[in-house]
Amino acid sequence: MKGMYYDGQVARLRHDLPEPRPFPGEVVLRVRAAGVCGTDLQITRGYFGFRGVLGHEFVAEDAGGRRVAAEINFACHACTTCARGDSNHCPTRTVLGIVGRDGAMAELVSVPERNLHAVPEVVSDAEAVFIEPLAAAFRMVEQVEVSAGTAVCVLGDGKLGLLCTYVARDRGARVTLVGRHADKLALAGAGVATCTSRDAGALGRPFDVVVEATGSAAGLAQALTLVRPRGVIVLKSTVAARYEIDLAPVVVDEVRVVGSRCGPFPPAIAALAARRIDVRPLIQAELPLDQAEAALRLAGEPGARKVLLRVG
């Protein structure tokens, strides 16, 4: 079958990939569309040590023609971590297209049936590809109180920063988006204040919650200049890099720093279905799977929005 394969050196579209063989409890899905994520680009730069088919944002259809999205952590559901309800952190888990598991930029993908979520008809394929990253943005509001009146600052006007902005706004928070690109800041949406990174110093430290989604290790230092004492910094960027920082302000101001990763699909699907969150302005382009290599290059250009692959 066709698929976008990373061999540890280069990512290439291959036509000779074997069809996936499902483990017990899994189903093979026919992929309809997939998205290119910043993590995919990091993988192709050699981080994470992954080899295989890329892609973890997708919509597919099962044997019965039902459209589905799938959570990407494949857990054992038998260990103490899973028993605690932390199956997304199962120590022996594989992760679709990231850790030990072929991903979704291919004609077919195999995933555990329990990971599937039905996609309502009103949500298009292009929107459904955003369910996984939007769920990651919703993870934040599972961990941190964000409600009417909460002063939230989102650092980073990339795709994840914008999705976090939408989720915080959906919760009624007073949101300020800080970023570098005028065209991205323009996507913040109604009722969201925007500010360039250069001017962020003038904001003071009024924020209850600062979401670090810059994709840069330097984001945390900036977040510390914006969060109020006893406030919360949500770390969303997985930056595979060492960074020098003075953490004394964390102690003196009793700041909480909360790592935040994958999130719940149901609120993301509900927000898309109800049109409470509109992700369509985030789409840069949609290319066929045959042009997957060009799609990854496009997604890697500075300031690129979400690039989609049309598969089925």
The residues that touch a copy of itself, with contacts defined as CB under 8 A, are 81, 86, 89, 91, 143, 217, 220, 228-230, 235-261
Q: Shortest gap between Cβ of 47 and a copy of itself (angstroms)? A: 9
Q: Shortest gap between Cβ of 37 and a copy of itself (angstroms)? A: 14
C-beta of 100 vs 249, nearer to a copy of itself: 249
Q: Shortest gap between Cβ of 133 and a copy of itself (angstroms)? A: 14
C-beta of 47 vs 286, nearer to a copy of itself: 47
Would you state the structure tokens that stand for residue 258, as one six-digit string? 């909360």
**Which residues, other chains included, contact 68 with Cβ-Cβ below 8 Å and sequence gap of 6+?**
29, 59, 60, 61, 62, 116, 117, 118, 119
- Select from 148, 190, 182, 146 the least CA-distant residue to 164: 146
Q: Using alpha carbons only, how large is the chain's radius of gyration in Å?
A: 19
C-beta of 62 vs 253, nearer to a copy of itself: 253
HEC readout, 176-227: EEEECCHHHHCCCCCCCEEEEHHHHHHHCCCEEEEEECCCCCCHHHHHHCCE
Measure the CA–CA gap between 212 and 195, rounded to whole angstroms.
15
Q: Shortest gap between Cβ of 235 and a copy of itself (angstroms)? A: 5
- Select from 92, 282, 62 the least CA-distant residue to 186: 282
Q: Shortest gap between Cβ of 250 and a copy of itself (angstroms)? A: 4
C-beta of 67 vs 139, nearer to a copy of itself: 139
C-beta of 20 vs 133, nearer to a copy of itself: 133
Query: Which residue shows structure tokens 């406030």?
Result: 231
C-beta of 157 vs 212, nearer to a copy of itself: 212
Task: Write the DSSP string, 129-150.
Answer: TTHHHHHHHHHHHHHS---TT-
C-beta of 191 vs 259, nearer to a copy of itself: 259
Q: Shortest gap between Cβ of 211 and a copy of itself (angstroms)? A: 12
Measure the CA–CA gap between 42 and 303, rounded to whole angstroms.
16
Query: Which residue shows structure tokens 């899905």?
Result: 29
Backbone angles phi, psi at 281, to 5 degrees: -65, -15
Measure the CA–CA gap between 143 and 167, rounded to whole angstroms.
13
Q: Shortest gap between Cβ of 249 and a copy of itself (angstroms)? A: 8
Q: Shortest gap between Cβ of 49 and a copy of itself (angstroms)? A: 13
C-beta of 23 vs 243, nearer to a copy of itself: 243
